With several copies, the nearest count.
Chain A
Amino acid sequence: MTTVAVKPATMAQALTRALRDAMAADPSVHVMGEDVGTLGGVFRVTDGLAKEFGEDRCTDTPLAEAGILGTAVGMAMYGLRPVVEMQFDAFAYPAFEQLVSHVARMRNRTRGRMPLPITIRVPYGGGIGGVEHHSDSSEAFYMATPGLHVVTPATVADAYGLLRAAIASDDPVVFLEPKRLYWSKDTWNPDRPTDVEPIGRAAVRRPGRSASLLTYGPSVQVCMEAAEAARAEGWDLEVVDLRSLVPFDDETVCASVRRTGRAVVVHESGSFGGPGGEIAARVTERCFHHLEAPVLRVAGFDLPYPPPMLERHHLPGVDRILDAVARLQWEAEG
């Protein structure tokens, strides 16, 4: 194989490549959903798959999310590995019963005899000017559902690696794709994709000593910017990209917080009942005596996602993160 230059690729392209490679490697992988075939998906993530693998492997389904996930369950029962696309976060809700009552439970129900290796791709989050119902952060629902893995990439390389891992997993994985990162680019060699990322490992994206920003998906980039800006204030922030919400990488996260003694959880999802509560609580349980200040949360407000023209006020940005860092009781230290 000739060496190919490392070229910038978008996250959407890396996802497409992951699907393609998974389908090529394993004939039991089937992609299904609304508009995933001829159109290639509304975000073009499934572009070209129907052409390359045929409509039986990449199928435009009728418009019914419970039907999509429910038939995927049956297909998985018969040995296939369905990769389901939910067109937008809020349009996964009609499939909620199938997800919670069957997808998450079938393995347990049958004492491991009937695992369901289903990947459920859900474009999620805001920041793209979407009208109502197109910008939900629904990860709290999935985290509260035992039996599911919940994974979300923040980099182009992870998009590839984690999606391959999700498809290879013998358990159902909710794969949350940050919409506003679809067109983010990175130098990533599509002809030498990274290895499959194991699910369940957080990554320290930026080492730092003052405090830990614990974040994932769409907010990782914001935290990186905040960490950059924080240098001017004399703070050296560590940024931890969780990557996998379930299982949760307590080890990496707690190691970081024990090192820094301070932490802020950052996510777009609403604060109340959102992922940050779990993260803050478990970090505090495990690192209490290392903490100089309570773990704070910077999150979306507790509202239905705002209309496009107001979303910038809702989304956690650099300033709000720095404000939280400032509240980490630095006086108490000196």
Chain B
Amino acid sequence: MTVMEQRGAYKPAPPPAWQPRTDPEPLLPDAEPYRVLGTEAAAKADPELLRRLYAQLVRGRRYNTQATALTKQGRLAVYPSSTGQEACEVAAALALEDRDWLFPSYRDTLAVVARGVDPVEALTLLRGDWHTGYDPYEHRVAPLSTPLATQLPHAVGLAHAARLKGDDVVALALVGDGGTSEGDFHEALNFAAVWQAPVVFLVQNNGFAISVPLAKQTAAPSLAHKAVGYGMPGRLVDGNDAAAVHEVLSDAVRRARTGGGPTLVEAVTYRIDAHTNADDATRYRGDAEVQAWRDHDPIQLLERELTGRGLLDEAAVQAARDDAEAMAADLRERMNRDPELDPMDLFAHVYAEPTPQLREQRALLRAELEAEQEGGHR
């Protein structure tokens, strides 16, 4: 057939590979963060759940102030406070079943504790007597992850493995707004969607990555808008509204558990304290902004809702505070004891069996320590 003979034969057609795939519409987040407290939706919330959330928030706030105090007393090397973000931390822990897994980022000690890990063991990393202080398998909590976003593919892999084994286990992974810029965030979400892994990603958008504000981190309409690019739903929620975060996460966990695949949740919140006790936030942000967020405090929001609807009396408030004080006193007391350290532990866990090289080095250290004990070396 010559080109002339072909004349007029051409019929437009979309490229063969093009098939209408996933409908993007349901994957897009709402225009505004979802809220429960102070809205119609609050009436439908389980009062018992709200009271549990409340008690945990109060406890969480106290935990943050106590841990920060411990840095001043030299009992912690450093503490990244989650004050202002307690609703996210607590709701993340409470949205999971026992058999599920939590993958915290370095700021999420509070979520780890809310999940049941001993508060002192949760602080081992930050006290500096070891790295991870708790047994990850005891409460199914992965180690606090310092390299940002690297824990996200772990969560995907674990969730995928559970599914392959036929267990209806869900993994919930936490990451910051800054962490969403890392390549590992992208790769994790993509694997999760392709594998339809039962995993939920919670981005705590607290406005800052150390000093860098969100506007320098992303130009996206919202971080939740990233979800559609992976083919998973993106949800936007008021991160200071514990009831809303809990509901959105619980929905996502349920969806994941029943084979519906992963969800990306962006919780809009604010880091009230500096990045850590070592940081000076006045270098990069003003008081007014912080004050505006103090007025949107997660504890107050929930307290007002509960008291407004007669679901919380002063006695209950006091009980929550007393419980928090007791936790803080216990924490203070136990953290004030020096941890017991054995330098020989350095060699105990590098490999299942120390290599010949490590055995040599271990012998060297042992000899040094013995010489030290025998009253001073050189």
Is B259 part of the contact surface with A, judged by Cβ < 8 Å?
A: no
Q: How far is the CB of B12 from chain A (nearest CB, A)?
A: 32
Is B155 part of the contact surface with A, judged by Cβ < 8 Å?
A: yes
* Residues B187 and A66 in contact, CB atoms below 8 Å apart: yes
Given contacts A64-B181, A73-B153, A301-B346, A101 and B147 within 8 Å (CB-CB): yes
CB-CB nearest in chain A for B153: A70
- Residue from A35, A146, A314 in contact with B211 in the complex, judged by beta carbons closer than 8 Å: A35
Q: How far is the CB of A273 from chain B (nearest CB, A)?
A: 10
- In the complex, identify which listed stretch (A103-111, A214-222, A257-265) lies at the interface while the others stay far away: A103-111
B contact residues around A276 at 8 Å (CB): none
* Residues B136 and A66 in contact, CB atoms below 8 Å apart: no
B contact residues around A111 at 8 Å (CB): 130, 132, 345, 348-349
Alpha-carbon distance between A247 and B352 when the two chains are bound, in angstroms: 12
Q: How far is the CB of A122 from chain B (nearest CB, A)?
A: 15
Interface size for A (C-beta < 8 A) is 85
A contact residues around B377 at 8 Å (CB): 319
Is A187 part of the contact surface with B, judged by Cβ < 8 Å?
A: no
Given contacts A77-B142, A101-B150, A131-B146, A308 and B217 within 8 Å (CB-CB): no
Alpha-carbon distance between A63 and B214 when the two chains are bound, in angstroms: 11
* Residues A40 and B283 in contact, CB atoms below 8 Å apart: yes
Give the A-B contact count at a CB cut-off of 8 A.
Answer: 251
Is B125 part of the contact surface with A, judged by Cβ < 8 Å?
A: yes
Alpha-carbon distance between A79 and B125 when the two chains are bound, in angstroms: 25
Q: How far is the CB of B21 from chain A (nearest CB, A)?
A: 16
Interface members, chain B 180-217 (any A CB < 8 Å) = 181-184, 186-188, 190-191, 194, 209-212, 216-217
* Residues A314 and B128 in contact, CB atoms below 8 Å apart: no
B contact residues around A35 at 8 Å (CB): 209-212
Alpha-carbon distance between A70 and B184 when the two chains are bound, in angstroms: 8
Alpha-carbon distance between A60 and B195 when the two chains are bound, in angstroms: 11
- In the complex, identify which listed stretch (A4-12, A15-23, A90-98, A154-162) lies at the interface while the others stay far away: A90-98
Q: How far is the CB of A330 from chain B (nearest CB, A)?
A: 16
* Residues B131 and A146 in contact, CB atoms below 8 Å apart: no
A contact residues around B343 at 8 Å (CB): 310, 313
A contact residues around B370 at 8 Å (CB): none
Is B218 part of the contact surface with A, judged by Cβ < 8 Å?
A: yes
* Residues A147 and B351 in contact, CB atoms below 8 Å apart: yes
- In the complex, identify which listed stretch (B87-95, B157-165, B295-303, B322-330) lies at the interface while the others stay far away: B157-165
- Residue from A42, A97, A304, A308 in contact with B77 in the complex, judged by beta carbons closer than 8 Å: A308
Is A196 part of the contact surface with B, judged by Cβ < 8 Å?
A: no
A contact residues around B191 at 8 Å (CB): 61-62, 64, 67, 71
Given contacts A74-B161, A322-B378, A94 and B361 within 8 Å (CB-CB): no
Alpha-carbon distance between A59 and B378 when the two chains are bound, in angstroms: 50
Q: How far is the CB of A216 from chain B (nearest CB, A)?
A: 17
Q: List 20 A-B contacts (CB under 8 A).
A: A38-B283, A62-B216, A71-B154, A77-B157, A94-B182, A94-B184, A101-B147, A114-B136, A114-B137, A132-B146, A133-B147, A147-B351, A171-B352, A250-B357, A303-B347, A303-B358, A306-B346, A307-B130, A309-B128, A309-B341
